[in-house]
Amino acid sequence: MIPTSPNDKDFPWWLVAVVAIGLYLFWQVFTVEEYSRVLSTLRRGIWVTIYVTVISYAMACLLGLLLALAGLSRSLVLRQVSRFYIEIMRGIPIIVLLLYVAFVLAPALVAAWNFVLEKLGFDPIRNRDFSLLWRAVIALTLAYSSFLAEVFRAGLQSVDEGQIEAAEALGLSRWQRFRFIVFPQALRTILPPLGNDFVAMVKDSSLVSVLGVTDVTQLGKVTAAGNFRYFETYNVVALVYLTITITLSLALRRFEKRMRER
């Protein structure tokens, strides 16, 4: 019987159900040969998924922070450029941006780079030298930087203006005010949405499969097309993503709780 008392109302029964399903699927993976074969094929894709997610997210955080600072600057030009970029990127579906970067922006960059190389007397590079993996990383970076810029902006604006004025009165430079006063306080506000966006990027990284990048989704598609065992294959693909995202979500919740207790 499920407890209904006030002390038990927040017990994570959903997590119990998820763990039960996960244990069943893991049992299938390690006892059923077909599941084991699929997981063995997907192992390389797991590392590609993690690599794409971590690199893209780190670059998106850096670019997003710069965009947020530009949007809050005293320069009208910087504010307008920041807003223009954010609105454009937020309005384009990620899968469209992936295709645009891969087949429009990347060839244009290669052509521009070759123009410089030819002027310097060096041999040109080929389009194929610009790997699809890095085209995908750039596209995810551009897409998520616009969302993260809004997260950073909201966090920076949440800091009390009086504290900034007091720090300025004490003679702290703009960089010192940002480093010691503004950012540490803003960080407590922006950590939860930053964590949510990181989990979202893990899932959205599956879109890079449209470019042929050998992540979990792409290897799952290739495996299913070869063995025609779609049920087993996509069960394992779903299990891999659920394991990563739920583990991250629980870790982030625990981290946020510890931050609030400080």
199-222, pLDDT tens digit by residue? 999 999 999 999 989 899 999 999
Q: Which helix (H) or strand (E) holds 100?
A: helix 94-100
Token pair recorded at residue 49: 């998924």
Average pLDDT per block of 10 residues along the chain, 262 residues long? 53 80 81 84 91 96 94 91 94 94 93 87 84 94 95 86 75 78 81 90 93 92 89 89 88 79 67
pLDDT at 229: 86
135-178, pLDDT tens digit by residue? 999 999 999 999 999 999 988 888 877 777 777 777 777 777 77
Residue 125 per-residue DSSP state: P
pLDDT at 156: 85
Token pair recorded at residue 39: 């997981």
Token pair recorded at residue 121: 């007397």
Q: What residue has token string 């049920």? A: 231
Distance between CA 242 and CA 220 in Å, rounded?
A: 15
Q: 5 by DSSP, 3-state: which?
A: coil
Q: Which helix (H) or strand (E) holds 217?
A: helix 216-227
Token pair recorded at residue 40: 């063995």
